[in-house]
Amino acid sequence: MITKQISILVLSFFAILCTLNSCTKKPAVGIDLQLYLMAKDTVGFVWFRHSDSLLHKSEGSTHSQPLIRTRFNAIAASKLDSNGMIIPGSVFPDGSLIVKEMFDKTRTLKTYTTLYKDPSNEIADNKGWLWGAVGVDGTVEITAYRKGSACIDCHLQPDNIDYMLMNKFYP
């Protein structure tokens, strides 16, 4: 009898644990879904340094994946020089979309992190950026509704260019 009660208790514990764990992975909706869909569309983008090669994340980066590559929509790419680097002192125009694709050590794409400049959006930060991270499966990792609070401390480092750090870490 006691063994049966323990079994029921253990199964109940695992059921609760599974339920709680599934609650942490929510599908993208609203602005998170919009950013995800924009990030998945690769047409018309320019790669940082004109290369789609994977780069190792910078030392001290808090990103969860070890490899990244970054691309810019045509509006954001207007702030890249002929070498595909961000022009120092640039301020990205409204409509700029910058997508950092994050890969695991097996080179499998795991996450899209996005910055989209839309100062008219009520959840944009004080520079007009919407920040988000959504897994390739469409589940939210960092919601845009947090206004970049999970990212801003790192992106405010000296020598950032309108929050971008690519030139600093990948000259």
CA dist 19 and 109 (Å) reads 26
Q: For residue 110, is it within any domain?
A: yes
- For residue 77, what pLDDT is reported? 97
- For residue 23, what pLDDT is reported? 52
Q: For residue 16, is it within any domain?
A: no
Number of domains in the chain: 1
Q: For residue 8, is it within any domain?
A: no
Q: For residue 14, is it within any domain?
A: no
54 half-sphere exposure, CB direction, 13 A CA radius: 15
Q: For residue 151, is it within any domain?
A: yes
Q: For residue 2, is it within any domain?
A: no
Q: For residue 46, is it within any domain?
A: yes
- For residue 171, what pLDDT is reported? 58
CATH number at residue 148: 3.50.70
Alpha-carbon distances of 12 from 18, 25, 78, 99, 109, rounded to whole Å: 10, 21, 56, 41, 35
> Which tokens belong to 24?
């942490």
Domain that holds residue 96: 26-169
List, for the chain, all residue ranges whose pLDDT scores fall below the cut of 50: 7-22
Q: For residue 123, is it within any domain?
A: yes
> What secondary structure letter does DSSP report for 5?
H
